[in-house]
Amino acid sequence: MINFDKINEFSTSYDINNHYLRFAHNHLYYKDIEIVGRENIPPRGTPTLVISNHQNGLMDALAILYLFDDHRQPVFIARGDIFRKDFIAKILRYLKILPAFRSRDGGRDDVKRNLDFMELEARILNEGGTLAMFPEAGHQAGHFMSTFKKGFPRIAFKAEEMADYQLGLQILPLNIHYSDYFNFRGRLLVNVGKPFDIKELTELYKIEPNNAFIALNEKARAAIKSMTLDIEDREHYDEYDLLRSMWHTPLNVLGKKTRTPLYEQEREDMAIVQQLDTMKDTEPERFAALMAATREYNDTLRALNLRDWLINYDIKLKKLIFKALLLIILFPIYLFGFLNNIIPFKLPEPLKKKMNDKMFSSSVNFALSVIVTFPLWYLLLFAAAWAVSGRFLIAVAYIIVAFCSLFFFYQYKKWLIKWWAAFRYWEMDKSDNKLLQRIKELKRDTIQYRN
């Protein structure tokens, strides 16, 4: 395998490339990014081990990387099996990612190499670097946390041991939360917890290292869990997830009251989950009735191919007609955006469909769109516009308008989907669809449990 010894050295090319990727991530891909607790980030040069929940593949790592605005270049740790080919390993090294091998990823030699990498990781921290990792050692397909593995505490104690327990390592817990895992122009929240050290556990580590690992994992997991939407009841996960989306305040309403609507909504979600957990313990019969009603509601939604926001929504024919006319008037702008952006927009789709893990879909979307498809497509468009017009400035103007039309094209598509859904709902309602009447009753019943 290639050499990783200098991975923590500052890279100018990496820093330059990150300016473009940071802009694309923070201002183009996401509609809004909320950072809560930024004041808790230790200054650059402080030995810092960042730990976070893990739900969304590469996007979680980017959320951490672009959290820092002081040009630091944190080193990440990823599963070792993706480093098999030297070509891939060189790319990952450039991206400042180190391998961590698990027994299921390879043979004993790979696992033994972890000791060498742990030495390197401890050295990075001793040099005042920032190391970032996901203690769950794999992303979770939903709003829940898994157990923490021992790799994180091993690195933390190794770093302190290397400094004769005088390093003052700071453990920085994060919660990363998304309004939408999969789609372009969603919202991202990074909640930065208060950093803590491991001084109180060093004596235990000297005597019983395994118990120290367990204690640190418990402390770190509790810190992240206190900030995170964690649905522990996997048996009723779908019901919990649907109920919290039915009961919490919509983001557009919270956005009028606070600058951090996604943060406030996650607080509500956590309170809803706590309420359901309490109901399960104290009122098991009532809880069972709610789960049954929610399950039937969800099944009926799917049978009718409707979304929850439509149910019991007062849809007027006049408003539908007005919106239809507006969509017709705006259609030429949409068509321009469609023709100029649909090819790079859709190119990642075949690869996404081949992936077994849907939680990587947004990672593929971002990586291919930002690095490959859109830059190459716009370069071709620019060349074509210049060739046709014969004017450089006209070609530049065309590319700017085409790029701006991407956002209108995407927003128009959402408006059209919502209009069609509302029209279908209105049509069902007027025909006295019995399933629709039943689903209305179920929603009213489930909402009553919120109070």
CA–CA distance, 184 with 280 (Å, rounded to integer): 36
Q: Among the three residues 255, 277, 304, which one is the final residue of a domain in this structure?
A: 304
Look-up of token digits 């909320």: 34
Q: Is residue 191 part of a domain?
A: yes
Q: Is residue 296 part of a domain?
A: yes
35 plus 135 within the same structural domain? yes
Packed helices 374-389 and 392-430: angle between N→C axes, nearest 10 degrees: 120
Q: Is residue 282 part of a domain?
A: yes
Helices (H), 33-107: 58-65, 86-94
CA–CA distance, 407 with 398 (Å, rounded to integer): 15
pLDDT of residue 349: 86
Q: Among the three residues 185, 205, 225, which one is the final residue of a domain in this structure?
A: 225
Q: What is the CATH number of the domain that holds 111?
A: 3.40.1130.10
Q: Structurally, how many domains does the chain consist of?
A: 3
pLDDT of residue 91: 83
Of 449, 134, 435, the closest CA to residue 288 belongs to 449
192 plus 140 within the same structural domain? yes
Please name the residues in contact with 140: beta carbons below 8 A apart, sequence gap of 6 or more. Answer: 53, 54, 55, 146
Token pair of 193, please? 């917890």
199 plus 59 within the same structural domain? yes
Query: Could you tell me how many residues make up the chain?
Result: 451
Reduced DSSP (H G I as helix, E B as strand, rest coil) percent helix, strand, coil of the chain, to 5: 65, 10, 30
Is the Cβ–Cβ distance between 348 and 184 less than 8 Å?
A: no
Half-sphere exposure of 211 toward its Cβ, with a 13 Å CA cutoff? 9
Q: Among the three residues 251, 283, 304, which one is the final residue of a domain in this structure?
A: 304
Q: Is residue 245 part of a domain?
A: yes
Token pair of 415, please? 């408006």
260 plus 321 within the same structural domain? no
Q: Is residue 54 part of a domain?
A: yes
Token pair of 31, please? 């509609």
Is the Cβ–Cβ distance between 277 and 287 less than 8 Å?
A: no
Please name the residues in contact with 281: beta carbons below 8 A apart, sequence gap of 6 or more. Answer: none
pLDDT of residue 145: 93
Q: How many helices (H) and strands (E) does the chain have?
A: 17, 7
Token pair of 156, please? 């933390």
Is the Cβ–Cβ distance between 155 and 122 less than 8 Å?
A: yes
209 plus 276 within the same structural domain? no
Task: With H, G, I as helix, E, B as strand and everything else as coil, classify residue 421.
Answer: helix
Residue type, 279: M
Q: Long-range pairs for 86-93 at CB < 8 Å and ≥24 separation?
A: 86/1, 86/2, 89/1, 89/2, 90/2, 93/2, 93/4, 93/7
The whole domain housing 383 covers: 317-445
Q: Per-block average pLDDT, block size 10, for the chain (451 residues)?
A: 86 92 93 96 96 91 93 88 80 87 61 81 96 88 90 95 96 96 92 97 96 96 96 96 95 94 97 96 96 96 94 91 98 97 91 78 88 95 96 96 96 96 94 91 90 69
CA–CA distance, 171 with 45 (Å, rounded to integer): 14
37 plus 176 within the same structural domain? yes
Q: Is residue 4 part of a domain?
A: no
73 plus 169 within the same structural domain? yes
Q: Is residue 2 part of a domain?
A: no
Of 267, 243, 262, the closest CA to residue 251 belongs to 262
Q: Is residue 213 part of a domain?
A: yes
pLDDT of residue 79: 77
| Alpha carbon distance, N-terminus to C-terminus of the chain | 59
CA–CA distance, 115 with 52 (Å, rounded to integer): 23
Please name the residues in contact with 186: beta carbons below 8 A apart, sequence gap of 6 or more. Answer: 30, 31, 178, 179, 180
pLDDT of residue 103: 59
pLDDT of residue 111: 64
182 plus 263 within the same structural domain? no
Of 104, 101, 65, 59, the closest CA to residue 83 belongs to 101
Token pair of 292, please? 């049954």
50 plus 98 within the same structural domain? yes
Half-sphere exposure of 306 toward its Cβ, with a 13 Å CA cutoff? 25
358 plus 415 within the same structural domain? yes
124 plus 209 within the same structural domain? yes
Is the Cβ–Cβ distance between 266 and 189 less than 8 Å?
A: yes
50 plus 185 within the same structural domain? yes
Is the Cβ–Cβ distance between 263 and 299 less than 8 Å?
A: no
Task: With H, G, I as helix, E, B as strand and everything else as coil, classify residue 394.
Answer: helix
CA–CA distance, 105 with 87 (Å, rounded to integer): 19
Of 240, 276, 58, 219, the closest CA to residue 142 belongs to 240
CA–CA distance, 74 with 50 (Å, rounded to integer): 9
